[in-house]
Amino acid sequence: MKVLKINPNKPEKALLKIAADALENGGLIAYPTDTLYGLGADALNRKAVKSVYRVKGRDFRKPLTIMFSSLKQAKKYVKFDPISLKLARKFLPGPLTLILPTKARFPKELTLGMNRVGVRIPDNQIAVELVKLYNAPITSTSANISGEKDPITVEDVVTQLGDKVNLILDGDKCKYKKPSTIVEVVNGKVKVIRKGVIKKGKLKV
């Protein structure tokens, strides 16, 4: 397990390339987002996705969130209804996760066989530039043991996951220090699946 210190405002491309190479080889990495540190694997690699569950000790009945670098990239993999698109344009990049129907074929372990997936575009240069360089979605579940302390610093990640990941990008403490708000548009109404940074009253579009 390597820990690489990376500039949060201007991430060094050489360091992002090391992380992308680890993903390409089916490895697991930890990286900072605006909310918590994320545990990254290639979201289209079934074996890598299964490793995420194993490392976290996560229940296979809980699907994983995935991360994109932009709305344009996300639209290649998921479908936006008009309300979800308005939410995305208002809050992304930012601490919002949208549950959306899939276009692409993801491993059943990631979606639990459903045709929907949680989508994130964090307000964090390291995370966004990493996915842009990798040019494919990566998992964005929190980089901790399921049910344990939220990972807001690289020390939290090292303590909980240690040598279970190939690489950790150290981009300082996460901005919001709490999870993203998860929402799904059901019958034209915004339903909060998990409370987080963005309060329900602000989710009007």
Domain boundaries, the chain: 2-202
Return d(Cα 17, Cα 88) in angstroms, integer: 28
Rounded to a whole number of angstroms, the CA Rg of the chain reads 16
In this prediction the pTM is: 0.96
How confident is the model at residue 54, as a pLDDT? 96
Contact 171, 34 (CB under 8 A): no
Closest among 63, 22, 27 to 48, alpha carbons compared: 27
Task: Name which CATH class applies to 2-202.
Answer: alpha beta
pLDDT averaged per 10 residues, the chain (length 205): 95 98 98 98 97 92 94 98 98 98 93 93 98 98 96 98 96 97 96 96 89
